[in-house]
């Protein structure tokens, strides 16, 4: 009886060790995939920043950097539009700060004026 119990314990221990080894191998594979994805994202960001340096003047880039702190989605949307325009060849000159301000105003949603009716 004790021999059977010991045999069951040894088999169970071996099974648990195999499962743990398999999990560690899968974890290493997941980490490697995550590292590759992170590296690809970093490369895309570097390409994007290089293109933005060609499109925008220094002042416009500074304005976008400060605006990114409060309106990240708006800046991402504007950058993607500018990159699309530049890649299609429809952007002829560099965007300076004044042009960037105009683009930002155009991208802002129209605000309704509140009306108060007194009865």
> Which residue ranges make up each domain of the chain?
1-42, 56-99
Give the separation between CA 18 and CA 110, rounded to whole angstroms: 62
Residue 95: what pLDDT?
Answer: 92
User: Looking at residues 64-70, what average pLDDT do you find?
Assistant: 93
pLDDT, one tens digit per residue, over 3-54 is: 777 888 888 889 888 888 877 776 666 777 778 888 898 899 888 888 999 9
Give the separation between CA 85 and CA 91, rounded to whole angstroms: 6
User: Looking at residues 66-71, what average pLDDT do you find?
Assistant: 92
The pTM assigned to this predicted structure is 0.62
pLDDT, one tens digit per residue, over 95-110 is: 999 999 999 888 887 7
Three-state DSSP class for 108?
A: coil
Reference 53, options 43, 42, 62; nearest CA is 62
CA angle 28, 13, 27 (to 5 degrees): 10
């Amino acid at each position: 009886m004790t021999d059977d119990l010991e045999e069951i314990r040894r088999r169970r221990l071996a099974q648990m060790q195999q499962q743990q080894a398999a999990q560690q191998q899968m974890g290493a594979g997941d980490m490697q995939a995550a590292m590759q994805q992170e590296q690809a994202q970093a490369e895309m960001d570097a390409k994007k920043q290089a293109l933005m340096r060609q499109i925008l003047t220094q002042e416009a880039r500074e304005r976008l950097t400060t605006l990114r702190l409060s309106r990240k989605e708006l800046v991402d949307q504007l950058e993607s539009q500018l990159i699309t325009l530049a890649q299609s060849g429809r952007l002829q000159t560099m965007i300076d700060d004044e042009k960037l301000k105009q683009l930002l105003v155009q991208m802002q949603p129209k605000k309704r004026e509140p009306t108060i009716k007194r009865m």
